[in-house]
Amino acid sequence: MSTFLLEMVTPEHVLFSLPVRAVRAPGIEGSLGILANHSPLMTVLQTGLVKVEHENGDEEYIATSGGFMEVSGSKTIILADTAERAADIDITRAEAAVAKAKDELAGGGTVDYHEASSSLERAMNRLKVAQLQNTK
């Protein structure tokens, strides 16, 4: 199967830059699948799961919280607001973050609803991605 270069970058670091067979990313209008020689495109990404099929066929899951993806020629770049490999996610901390965000939303008061619901969405995504990797 043909491969292409996938670069995944956050503001803090380059997560990786390596040849892959396929990538699936959470586009703003739905999930996008990219294979080698895909037509050029640029799209906004939303919070969700990025699934990478490596050159050797292994699959990897990455939790992201938005950003952009550019596909051009034999290279795809994901510029993610945040990106965390499933293997690096501490499930206990992710569960605690979900509980905290739910408490903030339930508490009312002076909580910024948009910020609290975004925090809950990111925490639930991280937990889902970590659990998905652990079922493999």
Whether the CB-CB separation of 49 and 126 falls below 8 Å is answered with: no
Residue 21 confidence (pLDDT) above 70: yes
Phi, psi (deg, nearest 5) at residue 25 = -135, 155
Helix or strand or coil: residue 127?
helix
Please, which residues have CB within 8 angstroms of residue 35's CB and are 6 or more apart in sequence?
2, 4, 21, 22
By percentage, how much of the chain surpasses pLDDT 70? 96
Residue 1 exposure: Cα atoms within 13 Å on the Cβ side: 13
Q: Is 67 left (phi over 0), alpha (psi -120 to 50) or beta?
A: left
Residue 115 confidence (pLDDT) above 80: yes
Please report which helix (H) or strand (E) contains residue 26, including its range: strand 14-27
Which tokens sit at 32?
A: 């996008």
Convert the pLDDT of each residue in 58-108 to its tens digit: 999 999 999 999 999 899 999 999 999 999 999 999 999 999 888 888 876
pLDDT of residue 136: 60
pLDDT of residue 50: 97
Position 133 confidence tier, pLDDT thresholds 50, 70, 90: confident
